Amino acid sequence: MHPCWCPLFFRRLLSFTTENGFVREGWSVPLLAPALFVHSVMRIEKDRFFFRECNKKRQKDMDNQKTVLVTGGCGFIGANFVRLLNQEKRSWRLINLDKLTYAGNLQNLAGIEEGENYRFVKGDIGDVVLLESLFTEERIDIVVHFAAESHVDRSITGPADFIRTNIVGTFTLLEAARNAWMDDSSRVDAPLFLHVSTDEVYGSLGETGFFSETTPFDPRSPYSASKASSDHLVSAYYHTYGLPTIITNCSNNYGPYQFPEKLIPLIFNNAMQGKKLPVYGDGKNIRDWLYVVDHCQAIVAVLEKGRPGRRYNIGGNNEKQNKDVVRLICDTLDRKVGLLPNGRPRTELITFVSDRLGHDRRYAIDATRISEELGWQPAISFEKGIEKTIDWYLDNREWVAAVVDGSYRDYYRDMYENR
């Protein structure tokens, strides 16, 4: 006999389902399993039909009033996205949900005031009660999900936070959206759940080739494995429940407001102080660099014209070896602020350190799909983007000083000085 027919199990299940209104009083145990099965199937099919009809309305309706829940909107990419929408989508109301961990900073959104079109909520995407209240109070139309633990080095030394936030947090957010958008009393006309992910889920490339949307996943770090898991969850909610989801996978971002644990702001900060410039291994690891505002513009294009159930790769068409990126930053700073006090160029500060565990050799994005289907192309070359980024950091040295606090110094010492 199948264990699901255990009499004790069914008596408890019958009690629970009767109390919660799923079945009627007096139904016998043998009728319960088929009744629950039919109830579940009917509910899923009803919701799939609803979401299909919503998708037909969405593209026609993107210029009208929308309420957008942005998770992680005080982080690097999230803050740039909130700033872009605040400028270009004035009719949209933005709800910024951020836990304000070490990489989340309210100063990233200085100048954006709370009001009719913007609300900040400090909270965790794993907080079921908070999410339920936000979806009910605000009648969320769109979710743009940035919130994630995202630094590979931190995932190697402490993977638990990555599992908790990137996998369990994404699941909790998906459930909140599904429950809210399937509730007859709080449905919205054209919901959409956009999940922002990374090219690191695809693994590592050799000297040739590109990641496409059909490249099999092959994550190599706890970070990329957690993001691959969340991608699978988002895709499953589309195929199982018909939840209107889209996934984007981007290459390495750079630009204003990036926390200085990442390569470009780390090198800038050290080079300005005359400190050693740590470069992993032989420095020949290759990344495709994407200016953050280009990435945000791509996300807007996906919101406006993307197809639910679809995945879109977003790349910058700028493949660079890490050591060449570091040299470019050094040369740019030498030109803009002068040589070091001893008259030597900053490239002499470059120091090769032992390589990161599981360090992927090369990433490269094939962004043909988003170009052909949505008409998006990156507008900023890497050389121009580096100029803009360095100018921003030079103009905002107080911001850098404020985020490089004691906890960051401890992290930096563990990651680089002791290698």
Q: What is the pLDDT of residues 334-354, one digit of tens each?
A: 999 999 999 999 999 999 999
Q: What is the pLDDT of residues 326-336, one digit of tens each?
A: 999 999 999 99
For the segment 365-387, the average pLDDT, to the nearest whole number, is: 97
| DSSP SS3 for 359 | coil
Residue 223 annotated as catalytic: yes
Q: Is pLDDT above 50 for 322?
A: yes
Q: Is pLDDT above 60 for 12?
A: no
Select which of 98, 141, 153, 223 is catalytic. 223
Q: What is the pLDDT of residues 19-56, one digit of tens each?
A: 555 444 455 555 555 655 655 666 666 566 656 555 55
Task: Between 369 and 5, name the one with better pLDDT.
Answer: 369
Instruction: Please tell me the predicted confidence (pLDDT) of residue 403.
Output: 85
Select which of 141, 200, 288, 366 is catalytic. 200
Q: What is the pLDDT of residues 121-141, one digit of tens each?
A: 999 999 999 999 999 999 999
Q: Are 244 and 51 in contact (CB under 8 A)?
A: yes
Q: Which amino acid is at 208?
A: T
| CA atoms within 13 Å, Cβ hemisphere of 312 | 27
Query: What are the sequence ranges of the domains in the chain?
Result: 44-254+291-317+358-380
If pLDDT is split at 50, 70 and 90, which confidence band does 401 have? confident
Burial class (CB in 10 A: 0-12, 13-18, 19+), 62: middle
For the segment 83-109, the average pLDDT, to the nearest whole number, is: 94
For the segment 346-365, the average pLDDT, to the nearest whole number, is: 95
For the segment 211-237, the average pLDDT, to the nearest whole number, is: 97
- In DSSP terms, which residues pair with 196 in a beta bridge? 248
Q: What is the DSSP string of 218-276?
A: ---SHHHHHHHHHHHHHHHHHHHH---EEEEEE-EEESTT--TTSHHHHHHHHHHHT--
If pLDDT is split at 50, 70 and 90, which confidence band does 4 have? very low
Q: Which amino acid is at 104?
A: G
Lowest average pLDDT, out of 61-65, 96-100, 232-236, 326-330, goes to 61-65
Residue 207 annotated as catalytic: no
For the segment 71-99, the average pLDDT, to the nearest whole number, is: 97
Residue 25 annotated as catalytic: no
Tell me the whole-structure pTM to 2 decimals: 0.84
Instruction: Please tell me the predicted confidence (pLDDT) of residue 123.
Output: 97
Instruction: Please tell me the predicted confidence (pLDDT) of residue 404.
Output: 81
What is the overall mean pLDDT for the chain?
88
Instruction: Please tell me the predicted confidence (pLDDT) of residue 37.
Output: 60
Instruction: Please tell me the predicted confidence (pLDDT) of residue 234.
Output: 98
Instruction: Please tell me the predicted confidence (pLDDT) of residue 365.
Output: 97
Instruction: Please tell me the predicted confidence (pLDDT) of residue 188.
Output: 85
Tracing tokens 């270009």 back to the chain, one arrives at 88
Instruction: Please tell me the predicted confidence (pLDDT) of residue 209.
Output: 96
Task: Between 310 and 24, name the one with better pLDDT.
Answer: 310
Q: Are 119 and 278 in contact (CB under 8 A)?
A: no
Instruction: Please tell me the predicted confidence (pLDDT) of residue 409.
Output: 54
Instruction: Please tell me the predicted confidence (pLDDT) of residue 2.
Output: 47
Instruction: Give CA–CA dist 378/374, Å, rounded.
Output: 12
User: Going by CATH, does the domain composed of 44-254+291-317+358-380 fall within 3.20.20.210?
Assistant: no
Q: Is pLDDT above 50 for 215?
A: yes
